[in-house]
Amino acid sequence: MLIIEVKETESIDRALKRYKRKVQNVRLIQELRRRKEFVKPSVSRRNEILKAVYKTKKQSEE
């Protein structure tokens, strides 16, 4: 769990912005979404291969 210390002179908006930035840097949301459902290793490997093929195809078009 992330804890943000709010300073006396700091506004709530600024503290919320720091919290959001910290969550994004830690990649907490991505990890939660990944753990939400189980994906078989073979399926995840296939997705990686398809993504790599897509990227190389895009690069070759440019």
**Residue with token string 């399926």:** 43
Report yes or no on 5 lying in a domain: no
Cα distance between residue 39 and residue 14, in whole Å: 38
Q: Is residue 53 part of a domain?
A: yes
Domain count, the chain: 1
Q: What is the model's pLDDT at position 23?
A: 87
Angle at 45 between CA 43 and CA 51, to 5 degrees: 105
Residue 3, domain member (yes or no): no
Q: Is residue 54 part of a domain?
A: yes
**Is the residue at 40 inside a domain?**
yes
pLDDT at 30: 87
Scanning the chain, the segments in alpha helix (DSSP H) are 12-26, 28-36, 41-61
Ranges in the chain, pLDDT < 70: none
**What letter does residue 37 receive in the DSSP assignment?**
S
CB atoms within 10 A of CB 4: 14
pLDDT, tens only, 17-32: 999 999 888 888 888 8
Q: What is the pLDDT of residue 42?
A: 97
For residue 16, being part of any structural domain is answered with yes
Residue ranges making up the domain that contains 56: 12-61
Q: Enter the pTM of the model.
A: 0.50
Is residue 22 situated within a structural domain?
yes
- What does the pLDDT read at residue 28? 86
38 domain-assigned: yes
